[in-house]
Amino acid sequence: MSDVILVVNAGSSSIKFKLYGVGGVEPIPLLGGAMSGIGSAPALTVTDGGGAALENRRFAADDVPDAAAAQHHVADWLLRHAGDRSIVAVGHRVVHGGPAYAEPMLVDDAVLRTLESFISLAPLHQLGNLHPIRVLRRRRPDLPQVACFDTAFHRGHPELSERLPLPRSVHDAGVRRYGFHGLSYEYVAGRLREIAPEIAGGRVVIAHLGSGASLCALQDGRSQETTMGFTALDGVPMGTRCGALDPGVVLHLIEHEGMNPAEVGQMLYHRSGLLGLSGLSSDVRTLLASERPEAAMAIAFFCRRVAQATAALAVTLGGLDAVVFTAGIGENAPEIRQRTIAALGWAGLQLDHDANRAGAARIDAPGSRAQIRVVPTDEELMIARHTLRLLGRAAPDATA
């Protein structure tokens, strides 16, 4: 019987999972899948390690009305198809580790209670992240579960990057800039050491651009500052989230527009960003294909904010040796990359347009003052590595 670990990356409308074989230096991907469209158009898709389809099943909305039902369907599929494999641990992406956790943790009752106390800090994500942990603790209380935090990579920020300009007592109560997408940034930083050692130790800005988006400044592979702060609302605009916003807007909506905090939160998390700007869609692909001026404005707004964030992070670093694009938009939208870099032309960044359109790994033109790269991220592999290391089953160089 071969040992495997399960990695779960759960959100409010989808659950992604991967199964990895263990025993060597690196976890080996055996299969991966997702239950998407929870509560609306649920679908379970699974592929093997080589990308061949193993399952493509659609459900009625009533059959998978919520994350709990989705988790049970995923667990049942895995149990039926695990064969002679023995799941020895489960690693989970958990968005918020708060001030308590700076590294992955084995989940016990005390850890779970602490993580539940951070739900208000990441209401769009934390509850969905924790639900699979609860389900598996009921079904397999003997199974080790490891929580891997998106905030952990940013712990140890310089004070100037972590503080908010609020009274010290508020900071001491935990209101500070945490940063997110840390598992993605950690993976990309590791890949840079492998594929571009000449810049991996330098001044690098990574743009993690997906439905959630943020940027991170790295020096010698360590996070120095990032655009998301206390919550995952901050920074650049996203698919449905507003990004950085004058806090006076929130006060105005409550005091003069009659909105209560829950209504404001729902708008800022679910009806803003690219969706709010365009009135059309939160999906960059739809906006790029549209001829509506509102769609064009939303794309222009997004690219300008990403470029502005890149410039601001370069100030933190004292210069710039490379810009790296990653995640769904960063990896797959050459027009977004082109327009972002064009806005940074004053800083000497130059794009190789043919390489960019072809989806090459390196897309800077000769003479560019900084390298420009596209590096696919792999948060699930990062979680698998952390899980094995915490269980004492990883080789010493497994994350080198």
- Quote the tokens at residue 261: 């905090």
- DSSP one-letter code for 120: G
- Are the C-beta atoms of residues 148 and 183 closer than 8 Å to each other? yes
CA distance 322 to 80: 46
CA distance 193 to 184: 15
Total length of the chain: 400
Alpha helices, DSSP H, located in the chain? 67-81, 109-116, 126-139, 159-162, 168-172, 182-195, 197-200, 247-255, 261-270, 273-278, 284-289, 293-317, 327-332, 334-342, 353-358, 379-390
48 is annotated as an active-site residue: no
Strands 2-10 and 15-21: antiparallel
CA 4 to chain CA centroid, nearest Å? 24
- Name the active-site residue from 63, 109, 150, 220: 150
CA distance 392 to 89: 12
Q: In terms of Cα–Cα distance, which of 93, 81, 83 is closest to 122?
A: 93
Across the beta sheet with 222-226, what order do the strands follow? Answer: 222-226, 213-219, 203-209, 322-326, 371-374
Q: In terms of Cα–Cα distance, which of 328, 347, 349 is closest to 338?
A: 349
For Cα atoms 326, 331, 335, give the angle at the middle one, nearest 5 degrees: 120
User: Catalytic amino acids?
Assistant: 150
